[in-house]
Structure 1
């Protein structure tokens, strides 16, 4: 059986690697019992029948396998759609919990703030001072900048020369973009793709809960509101504290939940560059209209490419195309 590299894809949904090993074996063998796993050295590190039982229980709970109705004590894989929806729902729940935790931490900060305290870990910046404070914080980066990116933007220009300079000096960037970022005119070609080419790790979510930049482990820059305040006039600067730790946790949950923006690596000469980009944008959740505008192609050309890819994969729906693309290396696995 072809190695589908399931660990990479299931890792984003929080499935234990040992459970993925067992799932792969079930896909290969069709049916298996816990004592068989124990007799052959376990599955993915499971030790004995007890360890195999634990892995089987986790896969049953995930909706990926079920008891074999034709053989007592044995288990078989089941169609994955319901299980995958369950796993994705759990990850979304974790993201919601992290968002609530940050909001609670901020409300607690507002209750306890004393304006006369000069050494308070949170500072509010407004008006023209925002741009200079942003630049000052970014210029002090030494290792990594983590960012949740969403409109509106403090700068009107598209290209991010500061990030390109940092990447050239070896400073890492991990950025989670909202779909609204990708839909902004010229932002994908003028900002995101040049940064990715220079070394940025980029992923996308349907939306991000807050605009956020974390500079190393020293300072976080976050908009005071999540949706409807004038974020271009107010910025929250957070230094190491309970709130800072909550913001770091929020970013990491968003990062694990997000999808890579574009296909990476060599997928063979049979896939054209525009088709690679289209697959990545489809996986990112952009609408047909946004993809057509981003790729600068007509709707007729878009559907022609889509039909061509579906025919090549031998499928009839976009969901089936996504599954085929993931299994055959047309889409990236989970980066380390």
Structure 2
């Protein structure tokens, strides 16, 4: 259950709540006193944990005073929304802190810290130069709009991955849901070694190159025309953007498979598991894989039989616990 408690902790549950929920999944209905004994927690702490889990829709109390877990989809979604709110709050706090720093501590002209690049050709040239200059790591928030509307592939990333540059990318779900982008960009990048995760939304379009600079622009939801990019040089603002990325990375969900996925799975079944773990709906998974809903159901049934599970949620948990992701 260690992987389960780790994932629940990332979603915001405390240690008592995660241990209590994990224990409930391994036993029948229990009263708080029995659960306290089984987990080594005090009964008051367990009652508080069960109250929180009940508010999230993860457990319910039966008429005889015992507690059982319930289908967790809604509760996990709620926890995910809370983490998104924390990311937005972190973004606001970081920017507010930097603004205070600039006004009260350091009054160096802003053009020494933030450079604004306008015009599509200039943006493309600056982006290409920055990415090609990476020596060890690229961190990225990926969301529309894209500067190259007629080009899906990213050969520079593939070249960088081949020479040992690490890529960590948090995709907005809308990016993963675009079939042509998933097939032509995301899937080849993951196959080449990119570490990919997904969130329902990301706070900005952003690429951080090593620890030297960041390129930032507004996502499609906030900018009708993506006509400018901010190039942020070493400063407290760059440190804040790095912190924002790291927080979002911890709150996001994997899109790539791990090293212990069964060798018997076909490439299509492997992609199915990855998309399932990323929170895609059945309809969107079928579309991205180019298969019918009936074929998807058959493949899902095969995977659940292999894993010994009875639901898509249990399958995702099994994949996480057993190193498939």
TM-score bracket, normalised by the shorter chain, equals 0.7 to 0.9
In structure 1, distance between residues paired with 2:284 and 2:27:
43
How many angstroms apart in 2 are the aligned matches of 1:110 and 1:151?
31
What's the offset of the Cα at 1:212?
A: 0.4
Q: 1:281 to 1:265 in 2, by over 3 A?
A: same
| 1:199–1:24 distance in 2 versus 1, CA, 3 Å | same
How far apart, in 2, do the equivalents of 1:91 and 1:188 lie?
25
Q: CA deviation at 1:333?
A: 6.3
Q: Are residues 1:25 and 2:33 paired?
A: no
Paired residues, number: 312
Closer, same or farther: CA 141–55 of 1 in aligned 2, 3 Å: farther
Which secondary structure state, in structure 1, belongs to the residue aligned with residue 234 of structure 2? coil
Are the aligned partners of 1:214 and 1:248 in contact in 2 as well (CA < 8 Å)? Answer: yes
Identify the range of structure 1 (97-106 vs 212-221) with the bigger mean alpha-carbon deviation.
Answer: 97-106
1:84 has 2:79 as partner:
no
Check conservation: 2:277, 2:316, Cα contact below 8 A: no
Residues 121 and 285 from structure 1, CA distance in 2 versus in 1: closer, same or farther, beyond 3 angstroms? same
* Paired position in structure 2 for 1:137: 130
> In 2, are the aligned partners of 1:263 and 1:331 still within 8 Å (CA)?
no
Aligned to 1:280: 274
Change in Cα spacing, 1:158 to 1:108, as seen in structure 2 (3 Å) is farther
TM-score (norm 2): 0.75
> Aligned equivalents of 2:127 and 2:264: distance in 1?
44
Asked if the contact 2:142/2:172 (under 8 Å) is kept, the reply is yes
Instruction: Give the SS at the match of 1:228.
Output: coil
- Write out aligned runs for 1:1-336 (5 A): 5-17=3-15, 19-30=17-28, 31=30, 43=40, 49=42, 53-54=44-45, 57-63=48-54, 64=58, 70=64, 76-79=67-70, 81=72, 83-101=75-93, 104=96, 117=109, 120-127=112-119, 128-155=121-148, 156-184=150-178, 186-223=180-217, 227-231=222-226, 233-268=227-262, 271-286=265-280, 291-295=285-289, 297=290, 301-309=291-299, 311-312=301-302, 321-329=311-319
Is residue 148–residue 177 contact of structure 1 (8 Å, CA) maintained in 2? Answer: yes
Separation of aligned partners in 1, 2:108 and 2:300: 64
Query: Which moves more between the two structures, 103-112 or 279-288?
Result: 103-112
Deviation digits for residues 107-141 of structure 1 (CA, Å, limit 9, x no counterpart): 879999x9993763111112233233223322343
Post-superposition CA distance 1:243-301 (Å, at most 9, x none): 32332232223222322224444544664432332343355455666545532x3xxx4
Change (3 A) 1:18 1:116: closer
CA–CA separation in structure 1 for the residues paired with 2:317 and 2:218: 42
Give the distance between the partners of 1:183 and 1:119, measured in 2 at CA: 37
Once the 2 structures are TM-superposed, how far is the Cα of residue 24 of structure 1 from its aligned partner? 2.7
Deviation at 1:218, TM superposition (A): 2.5
The answer as to whether partners of 2:304 and 2:312 remain within 8 angstroms in 1 is: no
Unaligned runs of 5+ residues in structure 2 are none
Secondary structure of the residue aligned to 1:176 is: strand
List runs of 5+ in structure 1 lacking aligned partners.
Answer: none
Cα 1:252–1:54 shift into 2, 3 Å: farther
Q: What is the deviation of 1:37?
A: 5.1
Tell me if structure 2 keeps the 8 A contact 1:121–1:241. Answer: yes
